[in-house]
């Protein structure tokens, strides 16, 4: 339990930031899932559209400190590769 004023304030700030980070991380996972579902569902146009929405949000998550920049690059690369390989097969 925090006893000092500064520690009490720090706990409040951490709680607000944790909620914000969880919301942003959840939003990010939803967007990635939509891309993957479109790829599995064999809908190239829908997958491309979902990817175009997901990429800027992944980049924004890096700026907000939600995920590491290398993790973001890896996610973008893997999603792009899945969508592009799908378009190549169709």
Q: What is the mean pLDDT of residues 35-63?
A: 95
Residue 87 pLDDT exceeds 70: no
Note the pLDDT of residue 24: 95
C-alpha to C-alpha distance for 23 and 31, rounded to whole angstroms: 13
How many helices (H) does the chain have, and how many strands (E)? 3, 0
Domain 5-89: give its CATH architecture: Up-down Bundle (1.20)
Query: Mind listing the pLDDT tens digit for each residue in 2-42?
Result: 889 999 999 999 999 999 999 999 999 999 999 999 999 99
C-alpha to C-alpha distance for 44 and 56, rounded to whole angstroms: 19
More confident residue, 90 or 34: 34
Q: So where are the chain's domains?
A: 5-89
Residues 6+ apart with CB under 8 A from 79: 32, 35, 36, 51, 54, 55
- Look up the pTM and report it: 0.83
């Amino acid at each position: 339990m925090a006893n000092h004023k500064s520690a009490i304030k720090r706990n409040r700030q951490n709680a607000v930031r944790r909620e914000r980070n969880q919301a942003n991380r959840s939003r990010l996972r939803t967007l990635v899932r939509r891309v993957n579902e479109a790829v599995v569902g064999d809908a190239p146009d829908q997958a491309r559209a979902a990817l175009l929405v997901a990429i800027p949000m992944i980049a924004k998550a890096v700026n907000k400190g939600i995920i590491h920049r290398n993790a973001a690059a890896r996610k973008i690369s893997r999603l792009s590769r899945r969508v592009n390989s799908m378009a190549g097969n169709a």
